[in-house]
């Protein structure tokens, strides 16, 4: 089952891209799926050709590749996909690679996504005109994402806590994979109302958000998530309760249950999470 890459997965991908693409020149672009662009293929191609990559970083679930011009390439893999580096002598598959970015030395980047992916060109350092990037909430691993900030963000809010954590305009990068262990570590039921959280609950939640996302990065991302070389993440081998229906809770041995919370599936320990 394909799942949308989340912050740790995109962080790993972006870092690997930054490690190998800095100062590499774009010599051409082939577009096999026009709808994933935010402009015509001709305009996209003309704006990036002969530009070099300056730096590449993660923003929420987006890869932001800054060029040595006024543009950045913003890529979102939608419900799963890859950005891979291929060397001279290999050929793209037009049915698989939605956008091919040709590089110097005969290398090329193959961008694939299964559903709802985007390869957009945006003004460098200015996302204000982009319908999705402009609405992203704070980065949960940023230095200014403090306990006090999270308390202020949740102040006077109502509704279930899981819905807020998955809302990209509230906090960027968390999805239905990593939120499972976040709520388990915080000992909070996903259906619990925000206005029922105590200050101590929010402190534990803040710690759990950063703990789980850092673990995801440490283990190279989630199942089927890959860096630019195709190395897959191993977080699935280290998760606590996510996607472990019927197994014992690692804390209390109560059997993990699978429930519906809103439109999403949740995995909970009915003893630890209240």
- The answer to the question of residue 274 being in a domain is no
Structural domain for 215, as ranges: 147-268
What number is the average pLDDT over the span 58-75?
98
Q: Is residue 140 part of a domain?
A: no
Query: What does R_g of the chain's alpha carbons equal in angstroms?
Result: 20
Long-range contacts of 236-241 (CB under 8 A, 24+ apart): 239/180, 239/181, 240/180, 240/181, 240/184, 240/185, 241/180, 241/181, 241/184, 241/267, 241/268, 241/269
Domain end, chosen from 84, 105, 135, is at 135
The answer on 61 and 126 residing in a single domain is yes
CATH code, domain carrying 236: 1.10.8.50
Q: Identify any residues that bridge with 118 across adjacent strands, giving them in sequence order.
A: 76
Of 104, 135, 166, which residue constitutes the final position of a domain?
135
pLDDT tens-digit map of 7-24: 999 999 999 999 999 999
Assess whether 187 and 245 both reside in one domain.
yes
Residues 121, 47 share a domain: yes
Q: What share of the chain is helix, strand, coil (3-state, %, to 5)?
A: 30, 25, 45
Note the pTM of the prediction, 2 decimals: 0.96
Number of domains within the chain: 2
**pLDDT-based confidence at 224, cuts 50/70/90?**
confident
Residue 213 in any domain: the answer is yes
Looking at the structure, do residues 15 and 60 belong to the same domain, yes or no?
yes
Residue 28 falls inside a structural domain: yes
108 pairs with which residues across the strands?
A: 86, 102
Which tokens belong to 68? 């040595």
Q: 50 and 26 in contact (C-beta within 8 Å)? A: yes
Check whether residue 131 and residue 11 sit in a common domain: yes
18-39 burial, b at 16+ Cβ within 10 Å, e below that, comes to beebeebebbebbbbbeebbee
Looking at the fold, whether 264 and 190 belong to one and the same domain comes out as: yes
Please say whether the beta carbons of 185 and 207 come within 8 A: yes
Taking only the tens place, the pLDDT of each residue in 162-215 is 999 999 999 999 999 999 999 999 999 999 999 999 999 999 999 999 999 999
Q: Please report which helix (H) or strand (E) contains residue 217, including its range.
A: helix 199-218
Q: Please spell the DSSP secondary structure of 136-164, one letter per residue.
A: ----TTSTT--HHHHHHHHTT--SBHHHH
Q: Of 102, 135, 168, at which residue does a domain stop?
A: 135
Instruction: Say how far apart CA 171 and CA 21 lie, in whole Å.
Output: 29
pLDDT in tens, 106-122: 999 999 998 899 999 99
Which of 60-69, 145-154, 218-227 has the least mean pLDDT?
218-227
Same domain, 174 and 255: yes
How many CB atoms lie under 10 A from the CB of residue 152? Answer: 10
* Residue 273 domain-assigned (yes or no): no
Is the domain of 111 the same as that of 198? Answer: no
- Counting residues of the chain whose pLDDT is more than 90, the rounded percentage is 94
Model confidence band, residue 2 (pLDDT cutoffs 50, 70, 90): low
For residue 160, what pLDDT is reported? 97
Residue 95: its pLDDT value, please? Answer: 87
99: domain CATH number?
3.20.190.10
- Give residue 1's pLDDT: 47
**Do both 73 and 175 map to the same domain?**
no
Looking at the structure, tell me whether residues 184 and 247 fall in a common domain: yes
Does residue 104 belong to any structural domain of this protein?
A: yes
The answer to whether residue 2 is domain-embedded is: no
Q: What is the mean pLDDT of residues 146-160?
A: 97
Considering the domain architecture, whether residues 50 and 86 belong to the same structural domain is answered as yes
Considering the domain architecture, whether residues 61 and 157 belong to the same structural domain is answered as no
In a domain, 242, yes or no: yes
């Amino acid at each position: 089952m394909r799942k949308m890459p989340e912050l740790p997965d995109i962080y790993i991908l972006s870092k690997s891209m930054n490690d190998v693409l800095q100062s590499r020149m774009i010599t051409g672009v082939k577009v096999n799926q026009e709808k994933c662009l935010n402009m015509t293929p001709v305009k996209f191609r003309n704006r990036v050709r002969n530009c070099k990559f300056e730096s590449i970083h993660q923003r929420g679930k987006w890869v932001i590749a800054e060029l040595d011009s006024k543009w950045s390439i913003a890529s979102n893999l939608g419900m799963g996909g890859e950005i891979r580096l291929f060397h001279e002598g290999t050929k793209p598959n037009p049915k698989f690679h939605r956008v091919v970015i040709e590089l110097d030395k005969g290398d090329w980047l193959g961008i694939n996504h299964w559903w709802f992916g985007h390869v957009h060109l945006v003004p460098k350092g200015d996302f204000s005109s982009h319908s999705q990037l402009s609405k992203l909430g704070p980065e949960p691993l940023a230095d200014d994402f403090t306990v006090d900030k999270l308390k202020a963000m949740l102040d006077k809010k109502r509704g279930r806590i899981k819905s807020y954590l998955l809302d990209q305009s509230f906090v960027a990068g968390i999805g239905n994979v990593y939120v499972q262990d976040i709520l388990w570590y915080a000992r909070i039921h996903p259906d619990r109302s925000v206005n029922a959280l105590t200050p101590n609950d929010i402190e534990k939640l803040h710690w759990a958000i950063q703990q789980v996302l850092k673990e995801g990065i440490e283990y190279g991302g989630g199942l089927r998530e890959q860096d630019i070389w195709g190395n897959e993440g191993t977080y699935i081998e280290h998760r606590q309760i996510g996607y472990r229906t019927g197994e014992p809770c690692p804390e209390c041995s109560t059997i993990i249950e699978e429930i519906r919370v809103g439109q999403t599936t949740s995995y909970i320990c009915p003893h630890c999470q209240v």
